[in-house]
Structure 1
Amino acid sequence: MKPIQSTLKQWTKSAGLQERLENQKKELFKDPFIQEFLRMEKYSLTTEMVDRGMVKLYEFKKERTHCANCPGLKACPNMMKGYQPTLQIERGHLELRYLPCALKVQEKQHKEQQQLMKSLYIPKDILKARFEDIDMDGEREEAGAAALEFALKAEPGENGEGLYFYGKFGVGKTYLMGAIANELYERGVESYTVYTPDFFREMKQSIGDGTFQGKLDRIKRAKVLILDDIGAETTSSWVRDDVLGVILQYRMLEKLPTLFTSNYDYDELEEHLSYSDRGGIEELKAKRIMERIKHQTTFVTVKGHNRRESK
């Protein structure tokens, strides 16, 4: 049996194949991407390198042509979707390296940003809230100004002061918090918005499946934590002391801002937290929790009519 190299040599000499290959090679070298590479590396390239690297040159041309006529990331025809080839000389050989294109980088950045705004049990319309869409009438002017100032100036780790939004049902407390979360997102600041009653209920259930500590750590370490509708939960000594108390203590020490919305003012929330599921009243423990909340927040009354009823 003849060696394969011998057979290939015979093929290249037969039926004008050599001529066609030379024509294809000339066309290859007319490509602007190939010309740019040859120009940039003219002092390093040798004819031998080029001859040995023809396959890589063809691949480079094909993939870069795809990029030049980019159909979008989802329809990318390249072998590695979203990656653009570069030619390099390594140890006397031409080598191809693939790097993420601008669209791939943009997609990655978008996904990373999406992770900045997390939520548990919060309606989607709240997460879309923007300050420019909020009706800042006379009644909500003070609360809107406080919310915007916090969103623009929050410095987790440097200043741990948050907000306590108190008001009746439907006045827009949660919506203002959604606008804060979105503004923080634009600034690249992580926030976590939690509907408190459902969160506490989940924490109780997580004891049985072994996920309690992981969930607690995730919440307490958020750069900005928003506890929505605190006081609406069923009172429990365990929730108050081993969940809420632990979260607030950690955040106070680490100077991480915590924001609250509630239908209770400070005094009413303290009374609510003092009731024990074991019976009786635990005023001292409730007062300890409230001291942390008061120390870490500015009290803001959100006024206005019930917008849920007007819809």
Structure 2
Amino acid sequence: MEPINTALSQWDGNKELQKRLDQAKQSLLKNSYITQFLDEHPGVTDDMLTTGMTKLYEYKKERDHCDHCPGLNRCPNLMQGYQPELYIERKNLELRYHACSLKVQHEKQKQEQDLIRSLYIPKDVLSASFNQLDADTDRMEASKAALHFAMNANPGEDGMGLYFYGKFGVGKTYLMGAIANELKERNIETFIIYTPDFFREMRQSIGDGTFQEKLDAVKKAKVLILDDIGAETTSSWTRDDVLGAILQHRMLEKLPTLFTSNYDYDELENHLSYSDKGGTEELKAMRIMERIKHYTKVITVKGENRRG
């Protein structure tokens, strides 16, 4: 079947329409994406351009949307979260769509959250930002340390993390949320995990066969934040086979791990030394703490309880 724009151009007395079609064609050919495509495909003929006008227009419009991206949820493209690709098939211009970086990231996060239920960013820190932090002198040291880490983190090259210690409600998790959001802008994958839930989930995952998959995902995250470590019920298994395995891998691969806790180093070591088998296991707790101490900078987060 003859393309509609070609058929219309052949009607008697339709010179004005032909003029408009030519103008639209010339306008499209000035688009930077289309000129780049033509430079890469010198074999494209004028007939191919004429019959492919509709595809060219769709391609230009969708790429313009991507250049002024309003975010994945407000994506105006025909296929939300997908970018068009122009290609040639049987001497015709055709379009196909690929997931954009935001869509890929969203799907990856969804898969991770489906896998690990304790992987989360609480609602109150979803929009946490360093720009929103007040000039609170009590938290100034922690805020500076958090910002410095967020701006300079280099997973794989520098495995140094942070250990935020302070009372309940002083804003430790909020600062971690600000770090995670800043790292997201730098395209650095960050896991924030509520430690007590994570250890419970790992124990349950033995029964459903997902233990190793979950463990590997956490071990390999570019940046890992273990929120509220020390609030969990201690067992030899979670300490040695879960936490120990995670920290050992991350230490070797120079992947930063950050912690928040109500315990300082010594108190956390004492907490980790208790065994569900009875008695204490100071040596094993000491080994865990050596990994934490050597690869974190401890920061005391001061201030009043902001939740009370």
* TM-score, L = length of structure 2: 0.76
Contact 2:121 2:177 in 1 (8 A): no
| CA displacement, residues 138-179 of structure 1 (integer Å, 9 cap, x when unaligned) | 100011111111111111111111000000000000000000
Contact 1:121 1:198 in 2 (8 A): no
In structure 2, the residue matched to 1:281 is 280
In structure 2, the residue matched to 1:151 is 150
Instruction: Give the share of equivalent positions with the same residue, in percent.
Output: 57
In structure 2, the residue matched to 1:32 is 23
| Helix, strand or coil at the partner of 1:256 | coil
| CA displacement, residues 67-123 of structure 1 (integer Å, 9 cap, x when unaligned) | 667796866569xx853656x5x8xx73213255xxx7xx71223455579771431
| Helix, strand or coil at the partner of 1:159 | coil
Structure 2 CA distance, aligned partners of 1:256 and 1:287?
21
Structure 2 CA distance, aligned partners of 1:256 and 1:67?
40
Amino acid aligned to 1:289 = I
Contact 2:120 2:191 in 1 (8 A): no
Match of 1:98 among 84, 95, 112: 95
Q: How does 1:115-130 map to 2 (within 5 A)?
A: 115=108, 120-130=119-129
Q: How does 1:76-91 map to 2 (within 5 A)?
A: 83=84, 85=86
| CA displacement, residues 193-222 of structure 1 (integer Å, 9 cap, x when unaligned) | 100000111100000011000000000111
Task: Tell me: CA distance 1:31–1:69, structure 2 relative to 1, closer, same or farther (3 Å).
Answer: farther
| Helix, strand or coil at the partner of 1:132 | helix
Task: Tell me: CA distance 1:76–1:197, structure 2 relative to 1, closer, same or farther (3 Å).
Answer: closer
Structure 2 CA distance, aligned partners of 1:176 and 1:45?
54
Task: Tell me: CA distance 1:140–1:22, structure 2 relative to 1, closer, same or farther (3 Å).
Answer: same
Contact 1:127 1:181 in 2 (8 A): no
| Helix, strand or coil at the partner of 2:197 | helix
In structure 1, the residue matched to 2:175 is 176
Contact 1:66 1:77 in 2 (8 A): no
Contact 1:170 1:305 in 2 (8 A): yes
Structure 1 CA distance, aligned partners of 2:237 and 2:150?
32
Amino acid aligned to 2:294 = H
In structure 1, the residue matched to 2:101 is 109
Contact 2:55 2:95 in 1 (8 A): no
Amino acid aligned to 1:173 = K
Task: Tell me: CA distance 1:62–1:275, structure 2 relative to 1, closer, same or farther (3 Å).
Answer: same
| CA displacement, residues 226-246 of structure 1 (integer Å, 9 cap, x when unaligned) | 000000000110000000000
Contact 2:55 2:94 in 1 (8 A): no
In structure 2, the residue matched to 1:295 is 294
Q: How does 1:14-33 map to 2 (within 5 A)?
A: 22-23=10-11, 27=17, 30-32=21-23
Task: Tell me: CA distance 1:181–1:69, structure 2 relative to 1, closer, same or farther (3 Å).
Answer: closer
RMSD of the alignment, in Å?
3.5
Task: Tell me: CA distance 1:96–1:131, structure 2 relative to 1, closer, same or farther (3 Å).
Answer: same
| Helix, strand or coil at the partner of 1:203 | helix
Task: Tell me: CA distance 1:200–1:96, structure 2 relative to 1, closer, same or farther (3 Å).
Answer: same
* Paired residues, number: 273
Q: How does 1:69-80 map to 2 (within 5 A)?
A: none
In structure 1, the residue matched to 2:71 is none
Structure 1 CA distance, aligned partners of 2:262 and 2:8?
82
| Helix, strand or coil at the partner of 2:91 | strand
Structure 1 CA distance, aligned partners of 2:44 and 2:230?
73
Task: Tell me: CA distance 1:213–1:67, structure 2 relative to 1, closer, same or farther (3 Å).
Answer: closer
Structure 2 CA distance, aligned partners of 1:245 and 1:45?
60
| Helix, strand or coil at the partner of 2:10 | helix
Amino acid aligned to 1:230 = I
**Unmatched 5+ stretches in structure 2:** 2-6, 30-34, 67-74
Contact 1:64 1:84 in 2 (8 A): no
